Amino acid sequence: MSNELIDKLNSKIEYAEKALNAATCDAEIENMRVEMIGRNGFIPAISAEMKNIPPQDKPEFGKAFNVAKNKIEALLEEAKERLKAQDRKKSEKFFDVTLPGRKWALGGKHPVSKVIDDCVAIFRRMGFIVAEGPEVETVYHNFDALNTPSDHPSRDPQDTFYFGDGRLLRTQTSTVQIRYMEKNEPPVRIISPGRCFRRDTPDATHSMNFHQIEGLYIDKNVSMADLKSTLLYFGRELMGEDTQIRMRPHFFPFTEPSVECDFSCIMCEGKGCRVCKYSGWLEIAGAGMVNPNVLKNVGYDPEKWSGYAFGMGIERIAMIRYRINDIRFLYENDMRFLEQF
Ligand code: PHE
């Protein structure tokens, strides 16, 4: 009786071995698994017959049963591995050389970043270094230290974003003048590009956030001539070697005297066109000689040190350079616009 069963086991193993070696897909292996060790399969059926075996034959049969069961499980595992390895080989071998290559989408610089980079490069050549300051500022750094009287219109909550706790969003990069001088002894030669915020109603030329680049030069015996020659060199590097500049008297609390600096129009070379509103000049920078009160506020001796400062709007330069007629294009992140630069 147990011999008969052992024969049955052996022939079943042989059968499973043949079938599994020939299997070419997962479904065939799965069918064999169900047939052999599934709940209603061969192995559970044989195991159910165990109780009919005479006690003296049980050890021998039990051994044979375990061997068979392990063997079948091993065969199933082997077959699965073999199919997997075959699949791997196939995909390694197959390489379709006619497939189009993978495209790496290359990003480009935003026009505002391009103008910042160009301006920084020009001032670097003149020995300026880049300094940075926070966008969330104190009222002190944005106004008081810059000699701005308490009734100055720029302090109006209609123009400035206040947090109500002595902090605000900086309205100008001139804050960095103060921050730098507080921490460093003269001489000073810095530029500081960065984001500023004003409570402007957005239109073609106004945005609530925009960028400026600030310059500060402090040394002994600095004069308006130094300021003018620096801005002229900058204008020619940025806009072309025929660029002319002119200065008009103006007022800023932190400079005295103060000027507006115009560059000759790059579109019409000063002849007059729509871009320069037929004046031949483009208003580019606010500038002036640093007010002695500002120097005192940071602990510099105004008898010993003097200097100039200037500030310009980056978007305005970008708009002129790339002929963009609405500042809002710069902030809409429309790819059709950005891809042109
Ligand atoms: N901060 C001034 C503005 O925002 C520009 C400026 C900077 C003027 C430095 C003079 C000196 O308009």
Which of the four pLDDT bands, split at 50, 70 and 90, describes residue 180?
very high
Q: How is residue 102 written in tokens?
A: 């993978």
CA of 193 from ligand 1 middle (Å) equals: 12
Structural domain includes residue 98: no
Same domain, 85 and 121: no
Same domain, 316 and 226: yes
Structural domain includes residue 88: yes
pLDDT tops 80 at residue 2: no
Backbone φ and ψ for 222, nearest 5 degrees, come out as: -80, 140
Tell me the C-alpha to C-alpha distance, in Å, between residue 41 and each of 3, 32, 69, 76: 21, 9, 12, 14
Structural domain includes residue 103: no
pLDDT at residue 93, rounded to an integer: 78
> Which residue lies with its CA nearest to atom 7 of ligand 1?
311
Determine the Cα–Cα distance for residues 262 and 143; give it in Å rounded to an integer: 25
CA of 288 from ligand 1 middle (Å) equals: 8
For residue 153, give the CATH number of its domain.
3.30.930.10
What's the length of the chain?
Answer: 341
Check: pTM over 0.85? Answer yes or no.
no
pLDDT tops 60 at residue 212: yes
**Nearest alpha-carbon partner for 316 in 124, 109, 112:** 112
Same domain, 192 and 308: yes
To test the ligand 1 pocket, which listed residue (172, 181, 250, 290) has its Cβ within 8 A of the most ligand atoms? 172
CA of 286 from ligand 1 middle (Å) equals: 5
**Nearest alpha-carbon partner for 63 in 134, 121, 123, 9:** 9
**Which atom from ligand 1 is nearest to the alpha carbon of 290?**
11
> Which residue lies with its CA nearest to atom 9 of ligand 1?
310
The per-residue pLDDT for range 267-295, each reduced to its tens digit, is: 888 888 888 889 999 999 999 999 999 99
**Which atom from ligand 1 is nearest to the alpha carbon of 173?**
1
Containing domain of residue 7, as a range? 2-93
CA of 8 from ligand 1 middle (Å) equals: 99
CA of 311 from ligand 1 middle (Å) equals: 4
> What pairs with residue 168 in β-bridges?
137, 162
Determine the Cα–Cα distance for residues 312 and 213; give it in Å rounded to an integer: 5
Same domain, 128 and 224: yes
The per-residue pLDDT for range 288-332, each reduced to its tens digit, is: 999 999 999 999 999 999 999 999 999 999 999 999 999 999 999
Structural domain includes residue 102: no
Phi-psi region of 221 (alpha: psi -120 to 50; beta: other; left: phi over 0): left
227-266 per-residue burial string, b: 16 or more CB within 10 A, e: under 16? bbebbebbbbbbbeeebbbebeeeebbbbeebbbbbbbbb
To test the ligand 1 pocket, which listed residue (212, 230, 315) has its Cβ within 8 A of the most ligand atoms? 212
Mean pLDDT of 106-135: 96
CA of 340 from ligand 1 middle (Å) equals: 31
Structural domain includes residue 62: yes
Q: What residues are in contact with ligand 1 under a 6 Å CB criterion?
A: 172, 174, 214, 252, 255, 286-288, 309-311
CA of 15 from ligand 1 middle (Å) equals: 92
Same domain, 137 and 61: no
Same domain, 89 and 167: no
Same domain, 308 and 202: yes
Determine the Cα–Cα distance for residues 175 and 183; give it in Å rounded to an integer: 13
Give the end of a domain, one of 60, 93, 126. Answer: 93
> How many domains is the chain built from?
2
Which of the four pLDDT bands, split at 50, 70 and 90, describes residue 65?
confident
Give the end of a domain, one of 44, 65, 93. Answer: 93
